[in-house]
Amino acid sequence: MAQFWKPGTEKPRLVEDEDGGVIFLSSSYSSSSSGYGYVSIEKQRQRLPVYKYRTAILYLVESYATTIVVGETGSGKTTQIPQFLKEAGWADSGRVIACTQPRRLAVQAVASRVAEEMGVKLGEEVGYTIRFEDISNPDLTRIKFLTDGVLLREMMDDPLLTKYSVIMVDEAHERSISTDIVLGLLKKIQKRRPELRLIISSATIEAKSMSNFFLSSKRRQALEGEELRPRLEPAILSVEGRGFNVQIHYVEDPVRDYVQAAVSTVLLINDKEPPGDILVFLTGQDDIDAAIKLLTEEARSNGKNSSGLIILPLYSGLTRAEQDLIFSPTPKGKRKVVISTNIAETSLTLEGIVYVVDSGFSKQRFYNPISDIENLVVAPISKASARQRAGRAGRLRPGMCYRLYTEEYFLNEMSVQGIPEIQRSNLVSCVIQLKALGIDNILGFDWPASPSPESMIRALEVLFSLGVLDDDAKLTSPVGFQVAEIPLEPMIAKMILSSNELGCSDEIITIAAVLSIQSIWFSARGAQKELDEAKLRFAAAEGDHVTFLNIYKGFLQSGRSSKWCHKNFINYHAMKKVMEIREQLKRIALRLGIVLKSCETEMQLVRKAVTAGFFANACRLEAYSHGGMYKTIRGSQEVYIHPSSVLFRVNPKCVIYHSLVSTDRQYMRNVISIDPSWLTEVAPHFYQQQRHNPTIH
């Protein structure tokens, strides 16, 4: 084990110097290594690197339409800048300061932190909004955190976002699909609202290219002519925050199983290295839960040294109590091990991390317009991400990063930057949102990074088949407008609308609520057999969607009991969330004139409604090899039913899936059996070319 590592050193420079900015400030920051445990909140704020730039930031926001702030994670961008703005009067006379984040968990975490720093109740002066959860007050909230997706929704009611004086688009380097759309739209809004100020902030950004994006050629010409107020060329401010080296260790040979390697490395650090918390980067709930189980077992058998470990998962969908544990200080004599998804890379800062273990992977969305398949893939991260991850170890004092890949791989094979999400996603949701905002020429839209024309055409085709767009690619009335109004993916929205006609809206709304959360099952953690048995109690021959209905019924009959959930391996918090989302969907449905109606036991109607939304995801059984091989009807891609599905090994002839995940194969998650003849009924255009195919009829 001792030879496992080949120590090397690399000082990750997290911010490249920019010489092209209008204003460039730089100073190195060195924090005391005493930690933050015993100082007042005001002192903590003053110690953050952005504090030194308070005056500069306020000056730039006053003078420039757009300010780009680049600063390392933990330097205080997200929590401090909105407060500086508020203190300087940007939230006076009923105006609101907005700060967007790509991730919901980050929205909740930073909003509660800022409320705490300001000594106010969350939901009043400081609030937040994420989909299906609005903890803000239109009269009181002056600083509002929200996902960029929610900001897009707000544009549908208020296209110029008039209530906001400053909008800070945070984590811009993540280049999430919604961030890119928001940036394109804000650039348009700025033309109409010269008083609006934008701050674009991120941990690493190609500040120059972002700056060029906001500086169109027309503006450049205008600038050459006369002095304008506010100045239109963006200002760039660089906040340098890290003062500590991170020693990088690489593995000598590629590891076969990164979960096992991560666990061994944590134990090695715990045995050999001085106190300090450990942050492990894995990819998603599955491998995080697997790692926790393995680590708990190995730590137990490892004896006394490992008894001081506090092992915590970090992924979206955690409850508030679980989040609090992550952020609370580590008790003396203990060592926290946080096993996280990408979320801890830049969105959240955890105090006390001294060691980072980087698997080199993250879950990423990939879309292939040729096969029309989008799935979540565990894929290698970029060098930029690897540097960010390493940087998490050096906040308080010199740290160490253990990379579970070779140095040779890092140097020669890792890509420099990730690909913006818009260039690797299915664009159905994106297109409908732009259409709903009146942007008709989508190919000509001013994108920070252009999506491929093929993906665009695929999206238009699906939306046409869904009856959402007409021949002129305009939203249809009423279906198109209704689908755009429902804050869910267009396929789910269409499924809800169809359920109204079919008379099963009560059931479909429950299904839609369940599909919009990650999982209602309790993660098995070593009890796979019991979990499978629990699933069998609810399993419906039709598939997962109908199984959800059985669970929902059982939950109601139990009087919404947490004990009942526990007994059946169902996640009680997830069920509570389902109930909340269901209530909200019910309200939206009523507003759209959908009358809630149950089809009682007529499950065929439910399956038809699912088909009306998800026809594009239809697959047919091809062979019984490997537990049942399917092919997508449209693209002939090989897919398999995920082992977590109740239809695993049942293998109906024709199925529809909700989403795909890819590991060794492409797996369908949430699967329902259908009658193939329904496909040409609900989507004749989409399946036209397949008419000759005998299995469709």
Query: In the complex, which residues of this chain contact ligand CDP (CB under 6 A)?
Result: 36, 48, 71, 73-80, 109-110, 113, 327, 349, 351
Rounded least distance, CB 133 to ligand CDP, Å: 17
Binding site partner of 270, from ligand CDP, Mg ion, none, Cβ cut-off 5-8 A by kind: none
For Mg ion, the closer of residues 270 and 341 by Cβ is: 341
Which one, of 574, 572, 571, lies nearest residue 582 by Cα? Answer: 574
Binding site partner of 313, from Mg ion, ligand CDP, none, Cβ cut-off 5-8 A by kind: none
For ligand CDP, the closer of residues 36 and 464 by Cβ is: 36
Structure tokens at 48: 């953050």
For ligand CDP, the closer of residues 69 and 282 by Cβ is: 69
Rounded least distance, CB 36 to ligand CDP, Å: 6
382 CB-near residues (< 8 Å, 6+ apart): 414, 415, 416, 417, 418
Residue type, 551: I
Rounded CA gap, 545 and 522, in Å?
A: 17
Binding site partner of 624, from Mg ion, ligand CDP, none, Cβ cut-off 5-8 A by kind: none
For ligand CDP, the closer of residues 83 and 364 by Cβ is: 83
For Mg ion, the closer of residues 144 and 458 by Cβ is: 144
Rounded least distance, CB 88 to ligand CDP, Å: 17
Rounded least distance, CB 76 to ligand CDP, Å: 4
Rounded CA gap, 459 and 457, in Å?
A: 5
Rounded CA gap, 586 and 509, in Å?
A: 7
Q: C-alpha 332: how far from its chain's center?
A: 33
Rounded least distance, CB 185 to ligand CDP, Å: 23
Rounded least distance, CB 77 to Mg ion, Å: 5
* Residue whose C-beta lies closest to Mg ion: 78
For Mg ion, the closer of residues 78 and 611 by Cβ is: 78
For ligand CDP, the closer of residues 74 and 276 by Cβ is: 74
Phi and psi angles of residue 260, each rounded to the nearest 5 degrees, phi first? -60, -45
Structure tokens at 306: 């490992």
> Which residues sit at the interface with Mg ion, rule CB under 5 A?
78
* b/e map 99-108, b = 16+ CB within 10 Å: bbbbbbbbbb
Binding site partner of 184, from Mg ion, ligand CDP, none, Cβ cut-off 5-8 A by kind: none
H or E element at residue 428 = helix 428-436
For Mg ion, the closer of residues 78 and 264 by Cβ is: 78
Binding site partner of 295, from Mg ion, ligand CDP, none, Cβ cut-off 5-8 A by kind: none
For ligand CDP, the closer of residues 77 and 535 by Cβ is: 77
Rounded CA gap, 668 and 655, in Å?
A: 10
Binding site partner of 71, from Mg ion, ligand CDP, none, Cβ cut-off 5-8 A by kind: ligand CDP
Binding site partner of 349, from ligand CDP, Mg ion, none, Cβ cut-off 5-8 A by kind: ligand CDP
DSSP per-residue codes, 156-221: HH-TT-TTEEEEEE--GGG--HHHHHHHHHHHHHHHH-TT-EEEEEESS--HHHHHHHHS-HHHHH
Binding site partner of 75, from ligand CDP, Mg ion, none, Cβ cut-off 5-8 A by kind: ligand CDP
Which one, of 195, 187, 169, 184, lies nearest residue 82 by Cα? Answer: 169
Rounded least distance, CB 44 to ligand CDP, Å: 7
Report yes or no: 69 and 77 within 8 Å, Cβ to Cβ.
yes
Rounded least distance, CB 198 to Mg ion, Å: 16
Phi and psi angles of residue 338, each rounded to the nearest 5 degrees, phi first? -100, 125
- Say if strands 164-169 and 197-202 run parallel, antiparallel, or are unpaired: parallel
Rounded least distance, CB 320 to ligand CDP, Å: 12
Binding site partner of 109, from ligand CDP, Mg ion, none, Cβ cut-off 5-8 A by kind: ligand CDP
Rounded least distance, CB 48 to ligand CDP, Å: 6
- DSSP class of 479: H
Report yes or no: 39 and 64 within 8 Å, Cβ to Cβ.
no
Binding site partner of 426, from Mg ion, ligand CDP, none, Cβ cut-off 5-8 A by kind: none
Alpha-carbon separation of residue 393 from 76, 80, 107 (angstroms): 17, 22, 23
Residue type, 526: G
Rounded least distance, CB 164 to ligand CDP, Å: 19
For ligand CDP, the closer of residues 80 and 342 by Cβ is: 80
Binding site partner of 327, from ligand CDP, Mg ion, none, Cβ cut-off 5-8 A by kind: ligand CDP
For ligand CDP, the closer of residues 112 and 211 by Cβ is: 112
